[in-house]
Structure 1
Amino acid sequence: MERRVFERSFCHLSTYRLIWFLAAVMLCRAQVVTRDEKQLLNTPASLRCFLETSQEVLIVTWQKIKAASPDNMVTFSKEHGVVVQPAYKDKMNITELGLQNSTITFWNTTLDDEGCYKCLFNTFGSGKISGIACLTLFGESLRIHRL
């Protein structure tokens, strides 16, 4: 009889540990929410990333995904503000200045802007958490008028 009581107590301790472990994992889990954008060529277009976490974000970086390696475009931090790389200076900027929410806007889209972009949230303790948003551009359809 004593042995069974001991086994049950041990079982309950293991169950409680498992519950605490799962709760800790759920609290530390972070997810980046993005949405792909379809936009008319030669018009402004915006891409947005939202980090669902309570972790402290130190810096947000946007990169264009390229075959060889990603191309850093712009960063935002409380310490340094917005830093746009020279190749993108007159082309785009971060238009939502937040460490949990970040939006980049292209002022006048060209075919070179079409593609996928990575938003990287550098967090304290968890490192980099990223999401990908893609921009698809289309032209106006040709309208044929008969006289």
Structure 2
Amino acid sequence: MTSRALLRFSSCESLNFPSTMQHAAVISCVFISSLLHTGQFALIETKETVWAAVGDQASLSCRLTEDKDVLQITWQKVLPNGEKNLATYTKKFGSRVSAGLEEKMDFQYESLQSCSMVIRKVMEEDEGCYRCLFNTYPNGALIGWTCLKLYVLPTELHGPFITISRSNSPPGSVVTCSATGRPVPMVTLTVLHQNLSFSHYNTSRVSNTNGTVTSTTTALLSALSSTQVECSVLVQTAAFRELLVTVPGLTDSSDGLDEDFESDDKDERWLVTVAMGLLVVFLCGAFGVLSMLWFKKKHQNR
């Protein structure tokens, strides 16, 4: 509840009504106070959140939705201990940027009903919320809020990579998805089946020496049949990648493994049999050739 609403709430409580009527009157007063207070913000059109990449330029703007007699426009940054004036504009003195911020900020305006503040080469310390104040006559100050959010363009993004292994206790398939990037990649595993979900969901992060971070998400999937799994990687608002894999079910994967091992053994026995047969044929052939040569030589000697 806002400070203005609280003041009106105290005034309503002091009304001399019976308890039931007083309760209803207090609720009505708070409701009307909220409408009046939010109505003040509704007069100003602005973006709730403005995104900008680190090092880029950000533009914060405010516009009155109704014509007012504006005497001065002020841009402020909201700090934990109060507000800091950044720039002002008046009819008499024009636009003025606070000392030390002339190269950093630029106050732009189309009229006294609309204005923008441009922040050049935004850095982490520029992130936060800002207020635009339209000092009007006779309404006083009309205030708008907008918040600046920053993201770092990824210089590296590797992945996602998915590995699947078998778990006996608890039974199921362990699905692991990882990605390495800068800034920190957000890795999410999703089961593409309406009635199935992961269990033992866990995410860990490891910082690498080159400044990148490896995010790894591991989860257990207990499904009897093959199921599609999606791994998505999000690097703030700058990059998004996804990878689809099919995870064998408990029955499918166990049968498949048995069949693979069995087929490998059969293949090996077949190869040995063929090799032995060829060796026997070769030896028989060699014995036959040697026998023919021996008989021929013996016949010539006669």
Q: How does 1:98-117 map to 2 (within 5 A)?
A: 98-117=111-130
Q: Distance in 1 between matches of 2:123 and 2:111?
A: 26
Sequence identity of aligned pairs in percent? 32
Note closer, same or farther for the CA distance 1:96–1:143 as it changes in structure 2 (3 Å cut).
Answer: same
Q: Distance in 1 between matches of 2:147 and 2:91?
A: 26
Larger Rg: 2
Q: Could you say which structure has the greater relative contact order, defined with CA pairs below 8 angstroms and 6 or more residues apart? A: 1
User: Which of 59, 77, 83 is the aligned partner of 1:70?
Assistant: 83
Q: How does 1:27-106 map to 2 (within 5 A)?
A: 31-35=43-47, 36-106=49-119
2:143 aligns to what?
A: 130
Note closer, same or farther for the CA distance 1:99–1:120 as it changes in structure 2 (3 Å cut).
Answer: same
Q: How does 1:17-36 map to 2 (within 5 A)?
A: 31-35=43-47, 36=49
Structure 2: tracts of 5 or more residues without a match: 1-35, 159-302
Structure 1: tracts of 5 or more residues without a match: 1-24
Q: Distance in 2 between matches of 1:96 and 1:129?
A: 17
Q: Distance in 2 between matches of 1:75 and 1:120?
A: 9
Note closer, same or farther for the CA distance 1:97–1:81 as it changes in structure 2 (3 Å cut).
Answer: farther
Note closer, same or farther for the CA distance 1:85–1:97 as it changes in structure 2 (3 Å cut).
Answer: farther
- List structure 1 segments (4+ residues) > 2 angstroms apart after TM superposition: 95-98
Q: Distance in 2 between matches of 1:56 and 1:96?
A: 16
Specify which structure has the higher proportion of helix. Answer: 2
What is the identity, as a one-letter code, of the residue corresponding to 2:76?
A: Q
Superposed CA RMSD in Å reads 2.0
The structural deviation recorded for 1:115 is: 0.5
Contact 1:60 1:122 in 2 (8 A): yes
| 1:32-74 Cα distance to aligned partner (Å, 9 max, x none) | 1110210111011100001112221011000000010100000
Contact 2:96 2:107 in 1 (8 A): no
Q: Distance in 2 between matches of 1:98 and 1:114?
A: 27
Contact 2:72 2:136 in 1 (8 A): yes
Q: Secondary structure at the match of 1:112?
A: helix
What is the identity, as a one-letter code, of the residue corresponding to 1:78?
A: K
Number of residues of Structure 1 aligned to a counterpart in Structure 2: 119
Q: Distance in 2 between matches of 1:125 and 1:64?
A: 25
The structural deviation recorded for 1:87 is: 3.2
| 1:96-146 Cα distance to aligned partner (Å, 9 max, x none) | 24211010001111111111000000001000000001110110113258x
TM-score by length of 1: 0.75
Q: Distance in 1 between matches of 2:157 and 2:120?
A: 29
Note closer, same or farther for the CA distance 1:51–1:139 as it changes in structure 2 (3 Å cut).
Answer: same
Contact 1:76 1:97 in 2 (8 A): no
